[in-house]
Structure 1
Amino acid sequence: MIRRLLLLFVIVLAALAAALWLGSWLLAEPGYVLVIRGQREVETSLAFVLLALLLGAFLLVLLTVLAGPLWQFFTPARWSRWRRRRAGAMRLQQGLLDLAAGHWQRAEEQLRSAANQTDWPLPALLAAAVAARQRGDTTAERYWLSAAADYPRGAFPAALLGARFALADNAPGRARELLEAQRPRHGDSPVLLHLLAEACGRDGDWAAVCELMPALRRHGESEQLVRRERRAWRARMRQAAAQPGFADAAQRREALTRLWKAMPRPLRHEPPLRAQYAGYLAQFEDGAGALKVIAAEIEQRWDDGLPAVLEAIDDVPPEQLLARLEQWLKTRPGNAVLLRTAGRVALKAKLWGKARSFFEAAAEAGSETALVELARLYAALGEGERAHEMLQRQLKAQGRRLPSLPLPKGPVGS
């Protein structure tokens, strides 16, 4: 239609130009035309005859340009194509309704017909792949996906759908292959990036997930994205701590330290990640470094998950650790986690009286673990009755969380 309008515009300009040239030429020498037929004579100016001929030619061309599309619209072929498209649209509609209703076989048949009757069969092909998958026909599923990928601009949506199918089949490697092939052209697609991050995570490639985070964040921050990034960095630290091939603990510490420095700063201040890193340092014989990491964070913000890391430190004198814990207890005297940790560190220092005092205070603060620690300590000190009492208190505390159910009043005979 645009081409026809452009052609019409060119014709009008050419006619105007010819009329102007002819008018200027005739003004200089108008001339005349004499037409004789039998007894009749008609005399007129040459200018009038030429202008009439020019106007007639212009009208003829204009009628040809405008009447062409109208003529094509009323041709049988045009009506046949219209009927075919209409039938395809109706079959596509019915196929999608059957797909939504769970009639997989009928939906696939309708969508197959729709794909052959529409000028844009891509939606029908993709929906047919879904129907074939629901039927459990993997051969048909792959056929429809391949047909969709061969259609112009169909490779990307077919790859996305195929990747979703692969993830549902627990085949993250195949999903990654499909998505990576589309990444050079569609790397800014948030759907592709999220699917790729999911596939990399299931594949255990947490480094790749972390590398995708900046691109994902450009499409907006969300709680799901924050959880995914946190999970990826925690998994990366686990992999670094368990990676084979290191000769000693120092090499593992170096690998963990490099990874910690590469972590985004906001994540380094999240207590679970900080506690995990400090725990690995303590595990790999850097208790002083672990204490420094925990103390630096506690000075800025408190979290109950941080002090417990001190229980894992074995290469720092327990008296030094206990002094730090007692310092924190001055500002949080009733903190159950802090009291329990102080009791365990006191046991390492063989300060039985202090350990008992800390555990008793933790038990009063509601720590059930402290009751078990007290029972163990009392039993080791030869105070069996008090140990039994602590265990009974611990059982009673756990029993309060059990559902209310009928129980026998006393011993029941067999």
Structure 2
Amino acid sequence: MKGGLAIALALALGALAGHFLLQDNGYVLVSFQGYVVEMSVPIALALLVLAYLAVRLVAWLWRVPRQLGEATARARVRWAGRQATRGYIAIAAGKLDQGERLLTRGARRSGAPLMNYLAAARLAHQRNDPDRRDGWLRMAYEQEPAAADAVLLAQAEMQMDDQAFDQALATLNRIREHNPKHGQALRLLAALYWRRQDWRALLDLLPALRAMPPLPPAKLNLWTTDAFEALLADPALDEPGLDRLWDEVPKLLRGEPRLVLARARTLARCGAVATAEAEVRRALRERWDASLIRFYGELPLPEAAQQLKNAEAFLRERPEDPDLLLSVGRLSFRNQLWGKARSYLETSLSIRPTPEGCAALGQLLDRIGDREAAARAYQRGLALSTAGSKTPTMAPVAR
């Protein structure tokens, strides 16, 4: 614009100079509705330039209020941005009170007020102030009604942090009312069911989640395993019910040791010990697992000699596996093979001392009458035990 004005002024000055310097400066006559205007050509050019300048001036004056408004708005946004930056710096320095105040001071003038209010809500949540948290969330919604889902998701996450699971469930269901396939809401809902141990609800939700990447398959498989493990261990489950539930387990996960173990325990409780033994042994051949082999040694199978023989067959490939040695030691105890049992148990403890192994050895020594050695074994096991640990006893001696 400055260049255009300079050119216009140069033309006007040139026209005036021409009027005074040229001997024959031309002649212009304008007649309009009886009015006649006479002037030289340079003067006419100068008037045209002045008219152009006047039009430009009026246009500029017309735009001034809008430009002033835009400039003021930009200044406010920059100021709000500086306040937000100072707020995040204060948060990083651990000054949560100051950070919250700075984030919200210029939130309405910010280019992204939603982010400011959500950040302030999270700060209030960290400071255990639910009233302020909910207030900022409400203001976030008022500023950006179209972002209601984002506000509700943030609210549900914070409610879950507070273990307000019923409130979080209600919040997530509000999202699902108008958007049943909202991916993040479904993921939060699955996490909520998992934390509440609402296993059946979790399993009902997982098929929808499997169709919604990018949730990692490992996470989905973990949730599925956790849910089925808990359901398979239900003490009210009978054998037919167990079989029906097992049919629901995805084939990909039926070899998962945790699920095999949960099913085997329920089978044993229902009296199907032989079936449990066969399934555990088959699972061990396909995928070795310490929990499974320890459970195998606890199974009270009537054919104790054959059970011991089956367990010892694994020793050919795993002669120094402490869990396997513990199990064959227990099975040798059941078969009244005291020397073999002591050898297996002491070898297991030499590789990896455990309270379980010490307890098993103590029971064996008690059985053969070596009370002093038994006491030492029990004392060693007590020293190794940790808070909350359980020390299972060995099955009765087979008759």
TM-score, length of structure 2 as denominator length? 0.68
Of 165, 170, 174, which aligns to 1:177? 170
Q: Does 1:383 align with 2:377?
A: no
Match of 1:344 in 2: 330
SS of residue paired to 1:305 = helix
Of 306, 318, 341, which aligns to 2:292? 306
Following TM superposition, by how much is the alpha carbon of 1:290 offset from its aligned partner in structure 2, in angstroms? Answer: 1.0
Contact 2:298 2:327 in 1 (8 A): no
Paired residue type of 2:318: R
Change (3 A) 1:335 1:116: closer
SS of residue paired to 1:153 = helix
Q: For residues 27-60 of structure 1, give each alpha carbon's deviation from its aligned partner in whole angstroms, at most 9, with x where no partner exists.
A: xxxxxxx9996999xxxxxxxxxxxxxxxxxxxx
Change (3 A) 1:331 1:102: closer
Contact 1:210 1:233 in 2 (8 A): no
Rounded Cα–Cα distance in structure 1 between residues aligned with 2:382 and 2:192? 46
Following TM superposition, by how much is the alpha carbon of 1:215 offset from its aligned partner in structure 2, in angstroms? Answer: 4.7
Match of 2:158 in 1: 165
Paired residue type of 1:345: L
Contact 1:339 1:362 in 2 (8 A): yes
Following TM superposition, by how much is the alpha carbon of 1:200 offset from its aligned partner in structure 2, in angstroms? Answer: 1.6
Match of 1:50 in 2: none
Match of 2:267 in 1: 281
Rounded Cα–Cα distance in structure 2 between residues aligned with 1:104 and 1:114? 17
Contact 1:197 1:212 in 2 (8 A): yes
Match of 2:42 in 1: none
Match of 2:257 in 1: 271
Contact 1:173 1:203 in 2 (8 A): no
Change (3 A) 1:384 1:136: closer
Of 209, 212, 227, which aligns to 2:202? 209
Paired residue type of 2:280: I
Change (3 A) 1:100 1:180: farther
Contact 1:282 1:312 in 2 (8 A): no
Q: For residues 334-374 of structure 1, give each alpha carbon's deviation from its aligned partner in whole angstroms, at most 9, with x where no partner exists.
A: 43322321232233344445534543554555555445433
Q: For residues 212-235 of structure 1, give each alpha carbon's deviation from its aligned partner in whole angstroms, at most 9, with x where no partner exists.
A: 44554542464xx63564355335
Following TM superposition, by how much is the alpha carbon of 1:166 offset from its aligned partner in structure 2, in angstroms? Answer: 0.9
Match of 2:238 in 1: 252
Match of 2:147 in 1: 154
Following TM superposition, by how much is the alpha carbon of 1:188 offset from its aligned partner in structure 2, in angstroms? Answer: 5.6
Match of 1:412 in 2: none
Rounded Cα–Cα distance in structure 2 between residues aligned with 1:38 and 1:358? 129
Paired residue type of 1:378: L
User: Alignment RMSD, CA only?
Assistant: 4.0
SS of residue paired to 1:306 = helix
Match of 1:126 in 2: 118
Following TM superposition, by how much is the alpha carbon of 1:387 offset from its aligned partner in structure 2, in angstroms? Answer: 4.1
Rounded Cα–Cα distance in structure 1 between residues aligned with 2:170 and 2:115? 23
Contact 1:108 1:131 in 2 (8 A): yes
Paired residue type of 2:117: L
Rounded Cα–Cα distance in structure 2 between residues aligned with 1:365 and 1:112? 61
Listed as ranges, the gaps of 5+ residues in structure 1 are 1-33, 41-62, 400-414
Match of 1:234 in 2: 226
Paired residue type of 1:219: P
Change (3 A) 1:363 1:148: closer
Rounded Cα–Cα distance in structure 2 between residues aligned with 1:134 and 1:336? 46
Q: For residues 292-316 of structure 1, give each alpha carbon's deviation from its aligned partner in whole angstroms, at most 9, with x where no partner exists.
A: 2112222323333322222343354
Paired residue type of 2:267: L
Contact 1:286 1:315 in 2 (8 A): no
Match of 1:219 in 2: 213
Listed as ranges, the gaps of 5+ residues in structure 2 are 1-30, 38-54, 386-399
Change (3 A) 1:173 1:236: farther
Change (3 A) 1:145 1:291: same
Paired residue type of 1:155: A
Rounded Cα–Cα distance in structure 2 between residues aligned with 1:370 and 1:74? 85
Rounded Cα–Cα distance in structure 1 between residues aligned with 2:61 and 2:113? 26
Bigger drift between 256-265 and 368-377 goes to: 368-377
Change (3 A) 1:289 1:120: same
Match of 1:7 in 2: none
Bigger drift between 364-373 and 278-287 goes to: 364-373
Of 131, 135, 140, which aligns to 1:143? 135
Following TM superposition, by how much is the alpha carbon of 1:82 offset from its aligned partner in structure 2, in angstroms? Answer: 4.2
Bigger drift between 184-193 and 306-315 goes to: 184-193
Counterparts of residues 327-366 of structure 1 (less than 5 Å): 327-363=313-349, 366=352
Rounded Cα–Cα distance in structure 1 between residues aligned with 2:32 and 2:203? 93
Change (3 A) 1:121 1:311: same
Q: For residues 237-277 of structure 1, give each alpha carbon's deviation from its aligned partner in whole angstroms, at most 9, with x where no partner exists.
A: 3345335xx4xxxx433333333332223322222332232
Paired residue type of 2:158: F
Rounded Cα–Cα distance in structure 2 between residues aligned with 1:209 and 1:39? 94
SS of residue paired to 1:375 = helix
Contact 1:164 1:195 in 2 (8 A): yes
Paired residue type of 2:173: E
Match of 2:109 in 1: 117
